[in-house]
């Protein structure tokens, strides 16, 4: 075990993974830091070693590769809007990126950090003394979920706004871990367990997000939050319909993982909406009630399909 605090700045992926292995169990990768540093301030993230990956050029850049648009994981949210391919083929990604936090955050926050940002809960994202006073919770080594009173499951929520937009447009995630370079559908990295919300190995580095080109998506994106100027999501909905009539709905803010429902334009749309509402395991752990957020899923999806089919 390492004994003292370290701040490491590797310049290659290999170097970063080597440092990560050497500090296994005690490190955190740092990209924009807008999620990690706040969690450290609140005592929810206490790793002795920070591995700052922002100097790794291999993680930067946006380019066409085969039939994909490849977006490096260090690409900054605020800057996605300047890319011509994203503007023409995937404008919903820009909408989602520009809905994250506030301008200052978006000028630092990266797309990789956004899809990997830590799940949140009203009873977890509190100061150390607050959490201690209530006896902690399942996500911070307590015995009980304060939101539900249960002992088995943590319902901290996925709050990424770009994840649902990317998933609705069939994004894949590319990463390098001990087994080499791999990719999989973005939704498959989310476990649904609020304590360990993603199944990537500890040392895995996300290298890029891949979006399939030439799908001619029509899209609709909505976000529910208390203050438009700053807040995390209480419900984000993203719907995409491709040129062949394939529909993909993705939600965040209402479950520990993205809620994903797929269909086609010949399906009963009301049934797809009902399925999305039913799949969302929202609990009372947000500023808005569970009932209201579930009702808002139907409202957002009705609005989305009205826009898409107008």
Q: How far is the CB of 169 from ligand FAD (least distance, A)?
A: 16
**What minimum distance in Å lies between the beta carbon of 297 and ligand FAD?**
18
Chain residue whose CB lies nearest ligand FAD:
113
Reduced to 3 states, what is the DSSP secondary structure of residue 204? coil
User: Smallest distance, Å, CB 34 to ligand FAD?
Assistant: 3
CA distance 37 to 198: 19
- Which position among 10, 112, 164, 253 is part of the footprint of ligand FAD (CB under 6 A)? 112
Choose, by CB under 6 A, the member of 13, 69, 145, 159 that binds ligand FAD: 159
**Least gap, CB of 142 to ligand FAD (angstroms):** 21
SS3 of residue 196 by DSSP: coil
Answer for which of 58, 75, 95, 161 binds ligand FAD (CB under 6 A) is: 161
Closer Cβ to ligand FAD, 114 or 304, answer by number: 114
Per-position x/- string for 89-108, each x denoting binding to ligand FAD as judged by CB under 6 A, each - no binding: -----------xx---x--x
Is residue 176 involved in binding ligand FAD (CB under 6 A)? Answer: no
**51: nearest Cα among 36, 61, 62:** 36
Considering the complex, state which of residue 149 and residue 180 has its C-beta at the smaller distance from ligand FAD: 180
CB atoms under 10 Å from CB of 229, counted, come to 9
Q: How far is the CB of 145 from ligand FAD (least distance, A)?
A: 22
| Gap between the Cα atoms of 246 and 249, Å rounded | 10
For residues 286 and 194, the answer to whether their CB atoms sit within 8 Å is no
Greatest Cα pair distance in the chain: 62
* Strand ranges of the sheet holding 259-264, from the earlier edge strand across to the other edge: 218-224, 235-241, 246-252, 259-264
Q: Looking only at residues 20 through 79 of this chain, which bind ligand FAD when binding is defined by CB under 6 A? A: 28-36, 38, 53, 59, 73, 77
Cα–Cα distance measured from residue 272 to residue 242, given in angstroms and rounded to the nearest whole number: 16
Alpha carbon of residue 211 to chain centroid: 16
Task: Work out how close the CB of 263 gets to ligand FAD at its nearest, in angstroms, rounded to a whole number.
Answer: 26
Burial class (CB in 10 A: 0-12, 13-18, 19+), 249: buried
* 239 and 217 Cβ atoms separated by less than 8 Å: no
Q: Which residues bind ligand FAD (CB under 6 A)?
A: 28-36, 38, 53, 59, 73, 77, 100-101, 105, 108-110, 112-114, 116-117, 159-161, 205-206, 230, 232-233
């Amino acid at each position: 075990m390492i004994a003292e605090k370290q701040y490491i700045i590797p310049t290659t992926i290999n170097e970063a993974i080597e440092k990560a292995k050497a500090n296994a169990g005690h490190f955190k990768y740092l990209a924009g830091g807008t999620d990690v540093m706040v969690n450290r301030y609140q005592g929810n993230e206490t790793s002795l070693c920070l591995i700052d990956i922002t100097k790794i050029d291999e993680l930067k850049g946006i380019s066409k590769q085969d039939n994909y648009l490849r977006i490096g994981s260090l690409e900054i949210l605020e800057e996605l809007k300047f890319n011509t391919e994203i503007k023409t083929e995937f404008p919903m990604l820009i909408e989602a990126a520009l809905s994250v936090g506030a301008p200052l955050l978006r000028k630092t926050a990266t797309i990789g950090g956004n899809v990997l940002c830590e799940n949140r809960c009203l009873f977890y994202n509190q100061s150390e003394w607050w959490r201690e006073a209530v006896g902690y919770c399942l996500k911070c080594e307590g015995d009980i979920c304060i939101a539900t009173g249960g002992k088995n499951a943590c319902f901290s929520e996925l709050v990424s706004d770009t994840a649902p937009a990317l998933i609705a447009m069939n994004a894949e995630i590319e990463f390098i871990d001990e087994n080499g370079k791999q990719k999989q559908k973005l939704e498959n990295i989310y476990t649904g367990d609020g304590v360990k919300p993603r199944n990537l190995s500890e040392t895995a580095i996300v290298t890029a997000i891949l979006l399939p080109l030439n799908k001619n998506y029509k899209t609709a994106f909505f976000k529910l939050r208390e203050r438009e100027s700053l807040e995390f999501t209480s419900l984000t909905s993203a719907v995409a319909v491709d040129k062949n009539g394939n529909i993909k709905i993705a939600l965040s803010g209402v479950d520990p993982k993205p809620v994903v429902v797929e269909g086609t334009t010949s399906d009963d749309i009301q049934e797809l909406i009902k399925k999305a509402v039913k799949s969302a395991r929202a609990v009372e752990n947000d500023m808005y009630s569970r009932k209201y957020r579930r009702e808002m899923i139907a409202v957002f999806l009705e609005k989305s399909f009205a826009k898409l089919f107008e």
